[in-house]
Amino acid sequence: MKRILVAVIFLAIIASLFLLSLQTGIINLDSSLLNLIGKRTGIDAITVWEVRAPRALGAIVIGSALGIAGVIAQSIFRNPLAEPTLIGLTSGASLGSVVAISTGAAVYGSTLNALFAILFSALAGLSIYLLAPANGLGFLITGIAGSAVFISIAGLLITISPNPGIQNLSFWNFGSLAMLNNSTLKVISPLIAIGIGGAYFVTRKLDIYSLGENSAHYLGVNSGRVRLIAIGVLALLVGPAVSSVGAIAFLGLLVPHVVRLLIGPSHKNLFFFSALLGAALLLGADLLARAAFAPHEIPLGLLTSIIGAPVLIILLKIRVEQWVSND
């Protein structure tokens, strides 16, 4: 009952934020949203359907993806601080995108660009997973170090690339939904949908998996294979997002923790509610990014980092004390 109530509240928040997104901006709409339905010409219709709608829909798609990615990352690595940004997947995706654009292999917003991001994200996740020491803190530190390497290589490529189409470096560090339009949204949505499908499959194994590797083994779950699949799924969730809007840090860290507080730890519920909360948070953050310093807009990734980093510090403090006392 409580879950249904929470779900309804989330859906209502998402719907209102979505409508608010369509109406918020520099241009004051002369006609109401209802009148604009079906219209394709005129400044109001172009503004709503070509600028604001893809942004708001993108926030929902990408927010859900990042929320789910947070759940998967935390569960699969049995580490409550694991998050795509902290374990190198985000910066791997950034690097993939930068490689594609700087070499001229792909342009921003293309399917190939998203595929590069997915591939590099998966390779990054895999290499950090294989290189990291077994304990939780070691894994995170390896991830952060790996991220620094990926971002540096991306920065180097941007600096020496003769391709003027390469985007501003800050975009890959602090993402923004400003560049999202309908064609880009059409490219990333199916890829993210595959990722969400894969994530649903993985979460069904995760409840068993979180009992511990030995128990999982006896219940017929191959932990090594689940981890590999999970890294692929994470790359499908993170790669298209990063290739189109840049890095949005900490959303995946924040969301599962808040959801656990609200509805408890079962992964199937976590999956669904993390998607909802991720969508709501990203929609809200995007509105704030557009409104806070209007008519200028700040990169959304700045906001998520400003809010997310202190949360990480608090969580880390609790967790490290546990890790240290366990040793």
Q: Judged by CB, which is closer to another protein: 26, or 34?
A: 26
Q: Judged by CB, which is closer to another protein: 7, or 155?
A: 155
State in angstroms the smallest separation of the CB of 224 from another protein.
40
Binding span for another protein by CB under 8 A among 62-70, 103-111, 119-127, 251-259:
103-111
Q: Judged by CB, which is closer to another protein: 69, or 289?
A: 289
Query: Tokens 């170090």 appear where?
Result: 145
Q: Of how many residues is the chain composed?
A: 327
State in angstroms the smallest separation of the CB of 252 from another protein.
24
State in angstroms the smallest separation of the CB of 305 from another protein.
15
Q: Identify whether the C-beta of residue 238 lies closer than 8 Å to the C-beta of residue 73.
A: no
Other beta carbons within 10 angstroms of residue 48's beta carbon come to 23
In degrees, rounded to 5, the angle at the alpha carbon of residue 67 between the alpha carbons of residues 96 and 257 is 130
Other beta carbons within 10 angstroms of residue 137's beta carbon come to 16
Q: Which of 47, 64, 75, 269 binds another protein (CB under 8 A)?
A: 47
State in angstroms the smallest separation of the CB of 42 from another protein.
9
Q: Which of 7, 50, 222, 319 binds another protein (CB under 8 A)?
A: 50
Q: Residue 15: which residues within 8 A CB-CB, separation 6 or more?
A: none
Task: Provide φ and ψ at 244, rounded to 5°.
Answer: -105, -30
State in angstroms the smallest separation of the CB of 179 from another protein.
5
Q: Which of 1, 130, 296, 324 binds another protein (CB under 8 A)?
A: 296
State in angstroms the smallest separation of the CB of 162 from another protein.
5
Q: Identify whether the C-beta of residue 278 lies closer than 8 Å to the C-beta of residue 251.
A: yes
179 binds another protein (CB under 8 A): yes
207 binds another protein (CB under 8 A): no
266 binds another protein (CB under 8 A): no
Which 3-state string (H, E, C) describes 257-316? HHHHHHHCCCHHHHHHHHHHHHHHHHHHHHHHHHHCCCCCCCCHHHHHHHHHHHHHHHHH
Residues in contact with another protein, counted by CB under 8 A, come to a total of 34
Task: Provide φ and ψ at 107, rounded to 5°.
Answer: -105, 160
Burial 231-242 (b: 16+ CB within 10 A, else e): bbbbbbbbbbbb
* Spatial separation of the C-alpha atoms in residues 274 and 68, rounded to whole Å: 6
Binding span for another protein by CB under 8 A among 10-18, 81-89, 101-109, 138-146:
101-109
Q: Identify whether the C-beta of residue 275 lies closer than 8 Å to the C-beta of residue 64.
A: yes
Binding span for another protein by CB under 8 A among 20-28, 228-236, 262-270, 316-324:
20-28
Per-residue x/- marks for another protein, 152-171, CB under 8 A?
Answer: -------xx-x-xx-xxxxx
* Spatial separation of the C-alpha atoms in residues 123 and 93, rounded to whole Å: 9
State in angstroms the smallest separation of the CB of 186 from another protein.
11
Q: Judged by CB, which is closer to another protein: 176, or 269?
A: 176
Q: Which of 33, 37, 107, 148 binds another protein (CB under 8 A)?
A: 107
Question: Footprint of another protein on this chain (CB under 8 A)?
Answer: 25-27, 41, 43, 46-47, 50-52, 107-109, 159-160, 162, 164-165, 167-171, 176, 178-181, 183-184, 295-297, 299
